[in-house]
């Protein structure tokens, strides 16, 4: 038997057939089967903790301490629900989200959605490269070295690697997020106050506090995450037998990502908030502010997390864009395919990587304005994407017996309406502040 040709999926399928009479051994086999399926859910959820997300979490912790932590409970439920639906659609239909939107809603709606997604994702990609430059400069390394190097490594990994290798590297990058947990522990927070922040929801009358609540919830679920997770499931070749473990991947990925985000809030609440430091415009500013209070190691750990988060999102966002445009136009797609096999997929990923790197090298690039613009586009696109996801997952013709049940529909529509309204409210507040 040639072990080099044994795929994770074939291992999972074999382990799934192990008789249940093996008892505890069977549980161990199931664990290894999960490891074989693990990937899309964890990667997609963690890609949402990008440089702009970290800036939002850090600013929230610095401004309001532990009082925002309760938001992470409904936020995690909403994220897990949407991720599970997209994974389920990918497994059952064998098609990406853009594929299904084109088939079920027509070319015109698809064109509008893809154009908005492209514009928003370009802003996201530039922001991730800016995050790379800021993280590297925390360690005294010039952006003119790290940004081109990161772009080349990222391009080579995706364009010249296999889907399995890319997924493994993305999963390894996710381990970097543990640095935020360590950073928070070093900051010595008041764990009783942190626990109270989770368990006792509080609301304040001022509009800035409401803005942060909206920002935390409304920016958790972003369109590129849903495109990526469904396309990844399809490319991985999962089928109905994998659905149970794939759901576990979606849920655990969402929980892990939001735990990391909560620790960012905890670390800045324990250091910056107690010292009255509330002005943070970038994640690197948060890292710099930690140093005199929690020590230089906290600063560097925060910087390592920022670098890893930006690297992960820098790979996922252009990959999601390449998937969505290729699916929408009916072109071949896939990681590791040659230019002849997937010309549009390769071209989109390459061009977006070049654009992101070049813009990040511009001195004094207005990152905040860029993030605001991207946030507005994402906020306008998100309700359309969520409504499409719920309607598609209720389509008996494509989902069969795996369409949403009554309870799933209830929570799905509540999530769609609440998150959409919060996103639109966030846009209104952001635009009003600009004037």
Instruction: Give the single-character DSSP code of 21.
Output: G
pLDDT per residue rounded down to tens, the chain (435 residues): 444 444 555 545 554 554 544 444 545 445 445 445 567 777 888 887 787 788 888 888 888 889 989 989 988 988 899 899 999 999 999 888 889 999 888 888 888 888 888 888 888 888 888 888 888 888 888 889 999 999 999 899 888 877 777 778 887 888 888 888 888 888 888 999 999 999 988 877 677 777 777 777 766 778 888 888 888 888 887 878 888 888 888 888 889 889 998 998 998 888 888 777 777 766 677 777 677 666 777 778 888 888 888 888 888 888 888 988 888 888 888 887 778 888 899 999 999 999 999 988 887 776 656 665 666 677 677 788 888 899 999 999 998 888 988 888 888 888 888 877 877 777 777 677 766
Could you state, in order of their start, the residue ranges of all structural domains in the chain?
1-37, 45-434
Q: How many CA atoms lie within 13 A of 373 on its CB side?
A: 15
Please give the structure tokens belonging to residue 254.
Answer: 């969402």
Count how many Cα atoms sit within 13 Å of the Cα of residue 286 in the half-sphere of its side chain: 37
Looking at residue 88, its pLDDT comes to: 92
Measured distance CA(99)–CA(117) in Å, rounded: 14
Report the 10 Å Cβ neighbour count for 101.
Answer: 25
Q: What is the pTM of this model?
A: 0.81
Spatial contact of 286 and 272, defined as CB atoms under 8 Å apart: yes
Which among 176, 180, 166 has a CA at the least distance from the CA of 228?
166
Contact predicate 241/13, CB 8 Å:
yes
Number of Cβ atoms within 10 Å of the Cβ of 183: 29
Backbone angles phi, psi at 96, to 5 degrees: -75, 170
CA dihedral 175, 180, 183, 189 (to 10 degrees): -130
- Return the pLDDT at 2: 46
pLDDT of residue 370: 66
- Long-range contacts of range 150-156, CB-CB < 8 Å, 24 or more positions apart? 150/311, 150/314, 150/357, 151/353, 151/354, 151/356, 151/357, 154/311, 154/314, 154/315, 154/353, 155/349, 155/350, 155/353
- The predicted pLDDT at position 145 comes to 92
- Superfamily of domain 45-434 in CATH is Amino acid/polyamine transporter I (1.20.1740.10)
Instruction: Report DSSP state, residue 206.
Output: S
CB burial class (10 A; 0-12, 13-18, 19+) of residue 21? exposed
How far from 184 is each of 66, 137, 259, 310, 338, CA to CA, in Å? 12, 22, 12, 20, 44
The answer for residues whose C-beta is within 8 angstroms of residue 377's C-beta and 6 or more apart is 116, 119, 120, 123
Per-residue model confidence (pLDDT) at position 369: 61
Task: Say if CB 77 and CB 407 are below 8 A apart.
Answer: no
Tokens in use for 412?
Answer: 């799905």
Q: Kindly give, in sequence order, each residue whose CB lies less than 8 Å from that of residue 427, ignoring residues fewer than 6 positions away.
A: 375, 376, 379, 380
Other C-beta atoms lying within 10 Å of the C-beta of residue 157? 16
249/244 Cα distance (integer angstroms): 9
Closest-CA residue to 270 (of 180, 192, 188): 188
């Amino acid at each position: 038997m040639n072990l080099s040709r044994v795929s994770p999926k074939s291992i999972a399928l074999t382990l799934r057939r192990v008789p249940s009479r093996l008892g505890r051994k069977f549980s161990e086999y199931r664990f290894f089967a999960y490891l074989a399926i693990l990937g899309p859910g964890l990667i997609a959820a963690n890609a949402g903790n990008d440089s702009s997300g970290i800036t939002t979490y850090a600013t929230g912790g610095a401004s309001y301490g532990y009082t925002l932590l309760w938001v992470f409970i409904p936020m995690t439920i909403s994220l897990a629900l949407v991720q599970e639906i997209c994974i389920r659609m990918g497994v059952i239909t064998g098609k990406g989200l853009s594929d299904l939107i084109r088939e079920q809603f027509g070319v015109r709606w698809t064109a509008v959605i893809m154009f908005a997604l492209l514009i928003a994702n370009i802003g996201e990609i530039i922001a991730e490269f800016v995050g790379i430059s800021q993280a590297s400069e925390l360690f005294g390394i010039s952006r003119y070295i790290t940004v081109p190097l990161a772009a080349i490594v990222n391009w080579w990994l995706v364009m010249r690697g296999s889907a399995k290798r890319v997924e493994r590297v993305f999963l390894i990058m996710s381990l970097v997020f543990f640095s935020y947990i360590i950073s928070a522990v070093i900051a010595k927070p008041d764990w009783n106050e942190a626990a109270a922040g989770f368990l006792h929801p509080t609301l304040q009358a001022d509009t800035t506090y409401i803005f942060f609540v909206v920002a935390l919830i409304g920016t958790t679920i972003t369109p590129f995450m849903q495109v990526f997770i469904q396309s990844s499931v399809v490319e991985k070749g999962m089928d109905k037998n994998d659905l149970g473990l794939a759901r576990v991947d979606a849920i655990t990925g969402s929980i892990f990502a939001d735990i990391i985000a909560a620790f960012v809030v905890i670390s800045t609440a324990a250091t910056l908030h107690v010292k009255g430091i509330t002005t943070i415009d970038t994640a690197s500013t948060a890292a710099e502010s930690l140093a005199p209070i929690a020590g230089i190691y906290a600063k560097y750990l925060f910087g390592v997390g920022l670098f890893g988060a930006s690297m992960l999102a820098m790979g996922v966002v252009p990959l999601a864009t390449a998937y969505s445009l290729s699916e929408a136009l009916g072109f071949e797609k896939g990681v590791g395919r040659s230019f002849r096999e997937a010309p549009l997929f390769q071209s989109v990923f390459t061009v977006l990587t070049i654009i992101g790197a070049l813009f990040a090298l511009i001195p004094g690039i207005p990152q905040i304005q860029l993030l605001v613009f991207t946030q507005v586009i994402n906020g306008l696109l998100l309700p359309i994407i969520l409504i499409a996801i719920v309607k598609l997952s209720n389509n008996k013709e494509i989902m069969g017996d795996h369409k949403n049940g009554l309870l799933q529909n209830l929570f799905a529509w509540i999530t769609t309406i609440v998150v959409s309204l919060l996103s639109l409210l966030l846009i209104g507040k952001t635009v009003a502040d600009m004037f």
